[in-house]
A and B are shown apart, each in its own frame.
Chain A
Amino acid sequence: AQKITQTQPGMFVQEKEAVTLDCTYDTSDPSYGLFWYKQPSSGEMIFLIYQGSYDQQNATEGRYSLNFQKARKSANLVISASQLGDSAMYFCAMREYNQGGKLIFGQGTELSVKP
């Protein structure tokens, strides 16, 4: 069974608008972490934001915020005021603490920002 699911293979957004990238997860471990990474065409993995399973508040990092709905097991990434440089692949990932710290990635969403 897929542990991390991203159902949007590709998304388009107009420059300066906000966009939400979906991510759902499946785990029975009460202690876990959720991550979002950006991968531009160069291939490097750029860490964007992190949410711990025990965190009470949604994580925010500049233009990025994570809409964490624990009961629904979703961890959507919201990018506000999209910029052309935001065009990239975006991956949601999960780390379960009883699994040795390894990150498991979703399928990814390719975001294209239109001028």
Chain B
Amino acid sequence: GAVVSQHPSWVICKSGTSVKIECRSLDFQATTMFWYRQFPKQSLMLMATSNEGSKATYEQGVEKDKFLINHASLTLSTLTVTSAHPEDSSFYICSARSQQATGGYEQYFGPGTRLTVT
């Protein structure tokens, strides 16, 4: 099956610093990538949808200046949490959709990145 990687798998940073999370599709081209965040014992909340070469579309209530998303190539999307604060501590998961997707279930999840802001 298709593989999506995320780096780093976990990160601890100090309040006020920025953190970049990478999401890569390893063996397929992803025209669309999705970023989710998940708090403990809660559901996945969609933050934004990014398409290669265009600006990300953010869900209502998500601060686009705080969560910068760049989908520079068909295999890489990055999420940068700027000026991180403790309330940004969460599990961030990316998902990539195959360029050949005709529907169905051609959508693959990364293993997630656990961010802790101290």
A contacts, CB < 8 Å to B:
33, 35, 37, 42-45, 47, 50, 52, 91, 95, 97, 100-108, 110
Complexed CA–CA distance, A72 and B32 (Å): 31
Interface check B103, CB cutoff 8 A: yes
Complexed CA–CA distance, A45 and B107 (Å): 11
With a CB–CB cut-off of 8 A, which chain B residues contact A97? 103
| Beta-carbon nearest neighbor of A108 in chain B | B43
Stretch from B18-26, B70-78, B80-88, B93-101 forming part of the interface with A: B93-101
Complexed CA–CA distance, A44 and B36 (Å): 13
B contacts, CB < 8 Å to A:
32, 34, 36, 38, 41-46, 49, 57, 91, 93, 95, 97, 101, 103-105, 107-109, 111-112, 114
Smallest beta-carbon distance B26→chain A, Å: 15
A-B contact pairs, 9 of them (CB 8 A): A42-B111, A47-B105, A47-B109, A100-B32, A100-B49, A101-B101, A102-B49, A103-B95, A107-B43
Contact B32 A44 (CB under 8 A): no
Contact B104 A33 (CB under 8 A): yes
Contact A33 B105 (CB under 8 A): yes
Known: A100-B32, A102-B46. A50 touches B95 (CB 8 A): no
Complexed CA–CA distance, A107 and B97 (Å): 23
Contact A101 B43 (CB under 8 A): no
